[in-house]
Amino acid sequence: MKFAVIVFPGSNCDIDMYHAIKDELGEQVEYVWHDTESLDEFDGILLPGGFSYGDYLRTGAIARFSKVMKAVVKAAEAGKPILGVCNGFQILLEVGLLPGAMRRNESLSFICKPVNLKVANNGTMFSTAYAQGETISIPVAHGEGNYYCDEETLAGLKANNQIVFTYQDNPNGSLEDIAGIINEKGNVLGMMPHPERAVDELLGGADGLKLFQSIVRSWREANVVKA
């Protein structure tokens, strides 16, 4: 499986994401600059964290207009797995691939620490390697991770089982403890915690590795022809 790690001016978690795929997962991966117009050669798309375009105007608001985002939308419509982490999640919200918005953390301060998450839905292409209801430890690092949506959108997320991860001890005030959601089609995941920073025990834990393993397993089951 071949992954693209999208790099925007201000991305700072792209190297972590690349390491997770190449060195821990053992799959192909390339950095792809924000002005790239085609992602057809890639099987999965990763939008890393950071401060794209300095987070001016609003987190993800400028990155949303980068040339590569048209290709990301095309890939999403084709059913390819798209993962947006932290700032990548914010960009997916801005471009409309996921519903809702991000607000400043309730504390109005930057949060950087490991947090416990509950696997609320292990039936997605991103979470099949986890047990339903499993508790995992994944670090967060954000100032605007307070997820919000209106009542109608929230009802839809619940009805369609689109909430994949929830916080056990909500660090930022997110509505309904939401830490990660997918689109209705099930191939676009946005999450504030950083799984790429939890792929090896040397980093303090490897709970995030199962997320990437889930993607590869699901992709192979759908695309690799068995002899």
> Which active-site residues does the annotation give?
86, 194, 196
- How many C-beta atoms surround the C-beta of residue 107 within 10 A? 12
Which stretch of DSSP H or E encloses residue 82?
Answer: strand 82-85
> 166 near 120, Cβ under 8 Å?
yes
- Quick check: helix, strand or coil at residue 42? coil
- R_g over Cα of the chain: 16
Q: Please provide residue 75's backbone torsions phi and psi, each rounded to the nearest 5 degrees.
A: -65, -40
| 82-85 and 44-47 beta bridge pairing | parallel
- How many C-beta atoms surround the C-beta of residue 158 within 10 A? 12
